[in-house]
Amino acid sequence: MNLELQQFKADFFKALAHPLRIRILELLAEGDKNVNELQSLIGTEGSAVSQQLSILRAKNIVYGTKDGNKVLYALREPLIVDLLQIARQIFNNHLIDAISMLDKFNDENGNDSESSGK
């Protein structure tokens, strides 16, 4: 059972491991959208959006419902929004740590970050 859970997690994170898929999820966190809306908001080809949606659908991360001649996509699990927010917090923490290390490095080497244009 534990191995199955680990495999599920690995597959789940692999499905998230693409910048365009992350952007799609961020947009769907704001509400349901069709391919044309996503394409317009992202500024990329519809085929690229469709391809990434297909991967997200295959991993049961998003689902589509027919709306006339279009398909509206939505997050299958609202907790995805929390996951994306936590990932952003982790990123921000790493960024703060990197800035702090750079400041410390500059202080130790007599570099003034303001005079160096940073």
CATH, domain range 2-77: 1.10.10.10
Which tops the pLDDT comparison, 24 or 95?
24
Position 107 confidence tier, pLDDT thresholds 50, 70, 90: confident
pLDDT at 101 over 90: no
Q: Of the ranges 7-21, 22-36, 63-77, 87-101, which one carries the lowest mean pLDDT score? A: 87-101
Convert the pLDDT of each residue in 6-16 to its tens digit. 999 999 999 99
Q: Where are the domains of the chain?
A: 2-77, 78-118
**What string of H, E and C letters represents the secondary structure of the chain?**
CHHHHHHHHHHHHHHHCCHHHHHHHHHHHCCCECHHHHHHHHCCCHHHHHHHHHHHHHCCCEEEEEECCEEEEEECCCHHHHHHHHHHHHHHHHHHHHHHHHHHHHHHCCCCCCCCCC
Q: What is the average per-residue pLDDT within 32-58?
A: 93
- pTM of the predicted model, to two decimals? 0.77
